Amino acid sequence: MMGWWEEQIRRADQLAVQSSGSTELLTFYAQLLRAQSEVYEFLRSRKDWLPSGDIEQDVPVILGALPRLLKKVETYGPETLAAEAHDLLEKDADTINEMLIRYWRNPSDIQFFAKAFLQPYGRWLVDAGARIPARAFTDSERRCPFCGGNPQVTCLKSKEANAESGNRELICSTCLSTWEFRRVVCANCGEERPSKLGYFHTPEYDHVRIEACDTCKYYIKGVDLTRLGFAVPLVDEVAAAPLDVWAREHGYVKIELNLVGL
């Protein structure tokens, strides 16, 4: 189970050395992934405890892992986040509980700390086979079937050794699980007309592209594992940060900001 986190960290370390334009982002993201891995291991290794899937029941346990993530951000994060992490370390448990419960019930990509901390919790819910009580989210193929979260990134992968094109999957921004999704359709509004769907990539990031919709004006980044099989979608999406700049300049809004705010 820890192999998944190790793969993310290894790729972030690798790209931090190779990337010329996103080194600082990737260096921080690698440290954040280490902190998330520690949170996940804290939850996984709890004796005589499995998550219920009910955030109010689980939060007293998972709260014990929060200081390690906050200290990592305080040490390695940009100045603003480091200062906020320091302040949160001084907050009382009730305030933190409220923040986490509020986020889990209504996720927002601008709530960095809640999102960063609860991603490992969500991942452990999936791996532990837990069930989440009924939540008020839209029943849509474009939302995570496990937790209802927004997609963070899409990926194409071949499921057959000789396949020439890949199957499309979405990766959840809340619990980090994946689900299959149709190839030519907007991940935000469901637009299917090819004339309304645009794609942009550069030779520098040949396996990553912008997938934009001219109907809703939203976009998501896609990582093509049929082009680069050892890519790690969540990390390579961060590394291709200049593509986000292009998308914003052309009037598109990202479906879900990643943990480095892009």
- Condensed to tens digits (0 to 9), the pLDDT of residues 105-142 reads 999 999 999 999 999 999 999 999 998 876 555 668 99
CA 246 to chain centre: 21
| Calpha distance 142→122 (Å, rounded) | 18
| Calpha distance 169→142 (Å, rounded) | 11
Task: Please indicate, yes or no, if residue 213 is contained in any of the structural domains.
Answer: yes
Same domain, 110 and 213: no
Same domain, 170 and 227: yes
Task: Please indicate, yes or no, if residue 62 is contained in any of the structural domains.
Answer: yes
Task: Please indicate, yes or no, if residue 185 is contained in any of the structural domains.
Answer: yes
Show the CA angle centred on residue 107, arms to residues 73 and 8, nearest 5°: 45
Strands 218-224 and 151-157, by their bridges, are parallel
- Number of structural domains (the chain) is 2
Mean residue pLDDT across the chain: 93
Q: Which of 9, 11, 3 has its CA nearest to residue 229? A: 11
Half-sphere CA count of 153, side-chain side, radius 13 A: 26
- Please state the rounded mean pLDDT for residues 87-95: 96
pLDDT band at 165; cut points 50, 70, 90:
low
Q: Locate 131 and state its tokens.
A: 């069930």
Task: Please indicate, yes or no, if residue 11 is contained in any of the structural domains.
Answer: yes
Same domain, 122 and 183: no
What is the extent of the structural domain holding 81?
2-127
Q: What is the pTM of this model?
A: 0.94
Integer CA distances (angstroms), 248 to 94, 182, 204, 235, 242, in order: 38, 25, 19, 20, 10
| Calpha distance 67→5 (Å, rounded) | 19
Amino acid, res. 121: Y
The residues pairing with 142 across neighbouring beta strands, listed in sequence order, are none
Per-residue model confidence (pLDDT) at position 164:
46
Same domain, 8 and 119: yes
Domain limit, last residue, from 127, 162, 193: 127
Task: Please indicate, yes or no, if residue 146 is contained in any of the structural domains.
Answer: no
Amino acid, res. 153: V
Same domain, 186 and 118: no
